[in-house]
Structure 1
């Protein structure tokens, strides 16, 4: 797919992910990294070492209700028809999440990976494991830890950050076109919104 077309398809996927998250009614606000300059800044970080280039998440926002009420998330969205390059991209994403959490990034209470195709299915139960996170960080050690020496890099990884990250990472969410439609209807959401706005201890 030509670069420009791929970019347009990717932007559409981000909007579709945003629409679906909001339609679940468990997300009170969701913004893309092109929604406005404020959210672009919030979703953008910088590698701490090496070339110190910026990287950004595609989406960010706040959860509503239940145990996550008011907690913030950031999400990476990938439009793929099959596994494609997701295995490599996912490892880079884990390294970025490690950086975000280590730097106490405000949106780093939850990390979501949203795609339209599964990948690394035989390793699915390990995609948010400590070992997987460590491999991801070592793969980007020059930019994350400031060294390309494998032995030194191992000693620089913060074990508490790795452990905490396993709790904040969601297993990849795999979407489908029909699943996007399997959400409460607009008229149902209007009823719930009206109910919530009438409750003193609930917000919408």
Structure 2
């Protein structure tokens, strides 16, 4: 029951994050990893020694301004406290690196959406090259991501330019229940969508 409750809480977080993203009016289309048609777009294989694939919780297409037509993937953590969120973030940056390396057309932006801040003492450094490298060479990731057991060898094998590219594409988004409500109403959103349809944008 604990595992089932955690799964339900995670699924609820993904649903709420998707709903919030859609309500920004900057998303043309979005889907979760429970979607019957699009879920496969969010699942990828570890390149080395890992039986199970990795996946993201949400994917979609942004719209408007500099992000027009850009693809994004997101990981959602519906947490009430810090817990083990930092460890999951290390896995996330490793996944981002691999996805950008092997499937770059499928993700222009990598979003971490959470309901609770974590690693607050190093918060400003989470979307940096060093953070990406640290996640990749973590003991849990370096073999399945890079095929190397030794930390020094793994660090030397990381493509720093790719790590820099990934770091620049990462987003940290912290939500709250009240913030989720402070978005455009469904009625007003329908007017925007109708306007875009009349202009032939949708």
Q: TM-score range by the shorter chain?
A: over 0.9
How many Å separate the matches in 1 of 2:181 and 2:21? 11
Q: Where does residue 136 of structure 2 map in the other structure?
A: 137
Describe the superposition over 1:82-139 as per-residue Cα deviations: whole angstroms up to 9, x where unpaired. Answer: 1111111111111111111111243220000111111111211100111111111111
Q: Which residue of 2 aligns with 1:82?
A: 81
Structure 2 gap segments, 5+ residues each: none
For 1:176 and 1:105, locate their aligned partners in 2 and report how far apart those are by CA, in whole Å. Answer: 31
1:52, CA displacement in angstroms?
Answer: 4.4
Q: Is the 8 A contact 1:60 1:107 kept in 2?
A: no
Higher alpha-carbon deviation: 12-21 or 144-153: 144-153
- The Cα of 1:11 is off from its aligned counterpart by 0.7
Q: Which moved more, 1:92-101 or 1:143-152?
A: 143-152
Contact 1:52 1:143 in 2 (8 A): no
Whether contact under 8 Å (2:128, 2:168) holds in the other structure is: no
Q: Is the 8 A contact 1:50 1:146 kept in 2?
A: yes
Contact 1:49 1:144 in 2 (8 A): yes
Q: 5+ residue gaps in structure 1?
A: none
Distance in 1 (CA, whole Å) between partners of 2:190 and 2:154 is 52
What is the SS of the residue equivalent to 1:47? coil
How far did residue 155 of structure 1 move? 1.9
Matches of 1:27 and 1:164, distance apart in 2: 23
C-alpha deviation, 1:51, in angstroms: 2.2
Partners of 2:142 and 2:154 within 8 A in 1:
yes
Instruction: Tell me the TM-score normalized by structure 2.
Output: 0.94
> Contact conserved, 1:47 with 1:144, CA < 8 A, in 2?
yes
4+ aligned runs moved over 3 Å, structure 1: none
Give the Å deviation of 1:192.
1.4
| Comparing 143-152 and 129-138, the one that deviates more | 143-152
Q: Deviations over 1:159-196 (max 9, x none)?
A: 121111111111x2111011001111122112212222
Per the alignment, residue 28 of structure 1 pairs with 28
| TM-score (norm: length of structure 1) | 0.93
Secondary structure of the corresponding residue to residue 153 of structure 1: helix
Aligned residues: 200
